Chain A
């Protein structure tokens, strides 16, 4: 199977993640969209790493995983703090700054 297929899949996943961020209203789903984008990028990095025959991309993918984990920790902490205050994780309810 051609390696290009993996890149196509990665781009698709990245696009789905982007759409989730832009279109969905629930904070947790938006956040999942971001995570999907990061993991789609990991797939691209690993594929490019295989294509070029060096390991930089694979090493990068490991770093991305760690960063994504750290981001989840902080992100969920913030979302939970807001949820405990408002009993809702919808980003549409979060609109005090608009007024």
Chain B
């Protein structure tokens, strides 16, 4: 009996392997490197790995676009244009997001609990704080999460899809519970995310089982082929697709599966909020676009009512509820829900322009989201007591942001830029993103969706601009007794992230052409 060695595309899986491998090495670092050196070691490892992964993705760009991609491991790992483009986006955004993790600011503390296992308010926690302990496990956790994301966008079968979905979710459940301040809120958010997240995964899994029952195969391409040949089992097919999509809707935070989003975004440490708001959504959209475009076309008529309803609800509810929020993080959470709706509009174009527009929109949204949450990490509450002024957690109430434009014009300016980009004002990247998405959808025949989308974006301008007005044109609130607001100085990382995100937002707004052209090559899914 002869044994044929399987073909392994080392180059193609290298970015994924490097990221996951760094996560594993990071765990060993936690165990063997002395505490003093751990943070530096982790940071060097993580950034080296992310840059290496990015370079490898860039290196295989031309070949992948020319050949249309490669199918590895019997079709389980499909590295085609969209997969590679989204992997590149994810790695770039992760570099930015993880840099925000690392910032200790002028207070000298990062955003994570000194000892996550300690009971909040206990002596042990106080001791850990005084000793200056740091939970450096956040870096390997972020790497594991990113590994899952890189895998899910290239998942060619339902098994890989499910495992990748869980691999990206589980580290995030833990990261959500690690906030240094307001630990009760953080743990609560973690529990909600866990329960609702695993519930959604279970629904997705049952959907996968039904699709397997329908087609006898786990491969998306073979399921798509079976839709045309197998008759009499439409119940399994439609039920399976619906449950599968619900699982993914949950991950992108589409209404009516969005209930976790505001709570988790508020409770999680803000750097983690930025990380997951940008990357999880992008990864889940990557998987959704693949499912919809590979299996969906023959079911377009059956799936469209559901997809349209979800898209419209997401845009409308996200926008309307964001109008009445008084907490910055909560407002950004609802705004991210609305953005999920806009991306869905692009998905529903059912055309190659639709795919390119979705890829572009995700880049734009990710940049502005990480930038905006990075700004939130720097605006802090203070309390003046007997022992002087103490800097506390983030000042997230909108009223506390009044007059920020006078005290820190650069910071407020950057946030205004991100908000304008969210709102889709011309000359920011958000406008280019919305324009391409809506054009693609209108060309694809989804005109009613575009109308709703345009109305929703117009209404959304109100709450974005309200915050800008508050920062620049509202006088600072009188200091009420001991409570105050201050802006802490970043230790460098966050400043760089905000600057990069701001430059990216302006650049993509003024000159969207090159990136659009680049992403325009990456629109062919392997079956």
For A1, the chain B residues whose CB sits under 8 A away are none
- When the two chains form the complex, which single residue of A37, A48, A79 contacts B191, counting CB atoms closer than 8 Å? A79
For B262, the chain A residues whose CB sits under 8 A away are 97
Give the tally of cross-chain contacts (CB within 8 A): 124
**Chain B nearest CB: distance from A15 CB in Å?**
10
Q: Is residue B188 contacting chain A, with contact meaning CB distance below 8 A?
A: yes
**Chain A nearest CB: distance from B100 CB in Å?**
22
- When the two chains form the complex, which single residue of A51, A67, A75 contacts B194, counting CB atoms closer than 8 Å? A75
Determine the residue in chain B with the shortest Cβ distance to A82. Answer: B187
Chain B: interface residue total (CB-CB under 8 A): 43
Give the interface segment out of B211-219, B442-450, B468-476, B481-489. B211-219
Q: Is residue B166 contacting chain A, with contact meaning CB distance below 8 A?
A: yes
For B192, the chain A residues whose CB sits under 8 A away are 94, 97
Within 8 A of A (CB), among B93-119: 116-117, 119
B266 engages A97 (CB within 8 Å): yes
Determine the residue in chain B with the shortest Cβ distance to A27. Answer: B191
Among B158, B170, B192, B202, the most chain A Cβ lie within 10 Å of the Cβ of B202
Q: A56-B217, A85-B119 are in contact. Are A78 and B194 (CB under 8 A)?
A: yes
B198 engages A75 (CB within 8 Å): yes
19 chain-A/chain-B pairs, Cβ below 8 angstroms = A7-B213, A48-B212, A56-B216, A57-B212, A60-B158, A63-B159, A67-B163, A67-B166, A71-B170, A71-B201, A74-B173, A75-B198, A77-B174, A81-B116, A85-B187, A94-B191, A96-B184, A96-B188, A97-B192
Other 8 A-B pairs with CB < 8 A, given A41-B208, A44-B213, A78-B187: A38-B205, A56-B218, A60-B212, A67-B163, A94-B191, A96-B184, A97-B188, A97-B263
- Residues on A lying within 8 angstroms of B by beta carbon are 7, 14, 17, 21, 27, 30-31, 33-34, 37-38, 40-41, 44-45, 47-49, 51-52, 54, 56-57, 59-60, 63-64, 67, 70-71, 74-75, 77-79, 81-82, 84-86, 91, 94-97
- Residues on B lying within 8 angstroms of A by beta carbon are 116-117, 119-120, 158-159, 162-163, 166, 170, 173-174, 177, 183-185, 187-192, 194-195, 198-199, 201-203, 205-206, 208-210, 212-213, 216-218, 262-263, 266-267
